[in-house]
Amino acid sequence: MKAVVMAGGEGSRLRPLTLTRPKPMLPVVNRPLLGHILHLLKEHEILDVVITLQYMATQVQDYFGDGRSLGMNIDYAIEESPLGTAGSVKNAHPYVADGEPFLVISGDALTDFDLTALLKYHRGRGALLTMALYHVSDPLDYGVINVREDGRIAQLMEKPSWGEVTSDTVNTGVYVVQPEVLDLIPTGRAVDWSQNVFPEMLTRGETVGVFQLESSGMRDLVRQARPTNIEDIIALVALYRPGPMENIPKYLACKHGREKPEFLHETIVPVVEDTYGVIIYQEQVMQIAQVFAGYSLGEADLLRRAMGKKIKAEMEAQRARFVSGAVERGVAPKQAEFVFDLVDKFAGYGFNKSHSACYAVVAYQTAWLKANHPVEFLAASMSLDLGNTDKLGTFKQEAERMGIRVRPPCVNRSEAMFGVADGEILYALAAIKNVGRQAMEHLVEVRREGGPFRDLFDFARRINPRIVNKRAFENLARAGAFDCLNPNRAQVLAAVDLVLGTANASAQDRESQQVSLFGEESAAASAPALPAVEPWQAMQRLTEEFNAVGFYLSGHPLDDYRTSLKRSGVSTLADLLARNMQAGFVAGTVTAKQERKSKKGNPFAFLSLSDATGQFEVVVFSEVLARSRDLMEPGSSVVIGVEIDRAGEEVKLRAQTIRSVDEVVKDAGEGLKVFIEDPASLEPLKARLGERGKGLVSLVLMGEGGREVELRLKGRYRVTPQIRGAVKSIPGVVEVQEI
């Protein structure tokens, strides 16, 4: 295990102490801050350390040298000019690029955390990043963490009041990191977290994947607030919590000049001027007590704690102290009482600004990464959520919205984790369900050693079937990972026993050290023939892919219906929510159905659906269920009239009507333009278009050198999304467009 100790900052906040020495060299108990960290690492047998340096680097190097005096190995990653946090870690990457996880810790942090236990936990979880947590008896002054049963963080609240505390687990700020994340960041780029951020991106609400700003409610708030600097983001992070949220309309109205701020008293103006008269932070409560009622800052902190705990006797004593102090300063008693009540109300849920600022800086960091390196950022974000198919689907949609292609998984191109190539995201093999990260890392290692796989049996002869088992092979086939070797996924899946038989035989030969007398070419020539199997139709292909990936990756069953649905007044759920609609029509493909009974015995159902923008759930009550049960089977595509209920971040959909997509769009099609590169396609095309209707059909014959000849067929034909899909599946048909 290695550690990266961040020690390159100038320590400007500690000047003049840091005018002659870097911050990590400031003494604490006769030892530099950095020395305490190195001793902690040594206690946990982390002896290989790289220290990142820039400001007064020689002082650190001269003091600690190569680490032999401490019984350690110390390397230094020197920055000629400041690279910022991400750039510094990337600069240190060559020293820890052995594929193993490494520790990241600040060179001026004082902690005695059990690093050995942290590392053991990280290895057992298989995560890309693990946060060290700790249990405390009084969590009010910490970042409180709520952790799900699977170990993932569900919620983080900074310095909550007792009424909001739901956990005694807090964040220590120590992390274990896998090197894959850093591999996606370009080398030598200067990353200034506090200045070089594109707030315009936040203004547009493009915050999917941005720390603290990615929930739908927060994205709406960002759009409304139109932040232009770090102070705006700090305020939004503090406001978007239960309690302070009621002040959002007032804050926005004053920020955009629709209302004038109310400052209560002239002494309070400097305290709340930057937040437009709205008390947001606990520091503001303390400052108001100081300037308005004559508190010392120590007394003001006691007031803040008393207001947070709501102890009646203590509150009465504080009220008397606050009012008398304000009156002594010339404030009328009634006004003093009013200000105390107002401050008390805000203090009960006020956020600590220093913590909100930390969150805002990280939000700016991730926003900068997304704006400047969107492909790498999204790929890294997807790797961090490798097992969360809902988040992966969301990131895939965000990539498409940003014009970034997500290439399907491929055994000859993809890595185990998400990667980047030629400005595109390569889908991770390990993100396919039930394949296992270890198995996919083995697959990739085999490919690196022996080159791309030539066919299915070459794949079988080279992999270890004990690692890449039958279930993994089947889901790789369903997901299309073997398309580069054989595009007929049905045939690949049908050949699983044949392929694994070859794999087992080859593995036995390797173990017994037997070698073919005729070499690999003979083995390839003697490969058994694959079973004759018809390719899956488009819908089955997508269904199998959905089962293996968790969402529709290469396409969606509603793709051929998109234009017709739009003509019929049907929206996506994302569009309805973006327009704050209370009701509307949405289309989706049913992925699951659960029927239950209410306490009164009435049947109802939860219907899980997917559209091109993601997954969603609709509750179907008894009357609609009785009328529409036959339309609700998994794989069916339907149009649902929904009522939308919002409760904070939660959105609930209630079905009012359910109709099949085909019924809704049957009269919506107007015509088709079919692009053909093979004249042999004309006969099957004629068969597909045999039914008369209202639509016009044009054929575009594609010749050499980019020449095209367009012919309009005589008569009119029935044009539906199913017919369009059937035409697209004809060999030699390049594209089908609606006209």
Catalytic residue numbers, as ranges? 159
Rounded CA separation 464/485 (Å): 19
Rounded CA separation 44/176 (Å): 14
Using DSSP bridges, classify how beta strands 692-702 and 708-712 pair: parallel, antiparallel or unpaired: antiparallel
Q: Treating both helix axes as pointing N-terminal to C-terminal, what angle do 248-255 and 216-225 enclose, rounded to 10 degrees?
A: 30
Rounded CA separation 159/308 (Å): 10
* Residue 648 φ/ψ, nearest 5 degrees: 65, -125
Helix (H, G, I), strand (E, B) or coil at 294: coil
> Is the sign of the CA dihedral 325, 328, 333, 339 positive or negative?
negative
- 624's CB contacts (< 8 A; 6+ apart) are 655, 656, 657, 658
Nearest to 326 by CA among 336, 339, 315, 312: 336
CA 152 vs CA 47, 123, 174, 458, 607: distances in Å: 29, 15, 16, 39, 27
Helix (H, G, I), strand (E, B) or coil at 454: coil
Single-letter residue type at 199:
P
Rounded CA separation 174/557 (Å): 45
Does 160 sit behind a cis peptide bond, omega within 30 degrees of 0 on the bond before it? no
At 414, list the tokens: 């993809």
**Strand residues in 508-649 grouped as ranges (E):** 583-597, 603-611, 614-620, 637-647
**Strand residues in 554-670 grouped as ranges (E):** 583-597, 603-611, 614-620, 637-647, 650-660
**DSSP 8-state secondary structure symbol assigned to residue 709:** E
Nearest to 49 by CA among 62, 32, 61: 61
Q: Treating both helix axes as pointing N-terminal to C-terminal, what angle do 353-372 and 84-96 enclose, rounded to 10 degrees?
A: 70
Contact present, 352 and 286 (Cβ < 8 Å): no
The CB density around residue 272, as the number of other CB atoms within 10 Å, is 20
Determine which helix (DSSP H) or strand (DSSP E) holds 232, and give its type and residue range. helix 230-239
Contact present, 697 and 689 (Cβ < 8 Å): yes
- 704's CB contacts (< 8 A; 6+ apart) are none
Cite the DSSP H helix spans in 653-731.
661-665, 682-688, 721-728
Rounded CA separation 475/204 (Å): 38
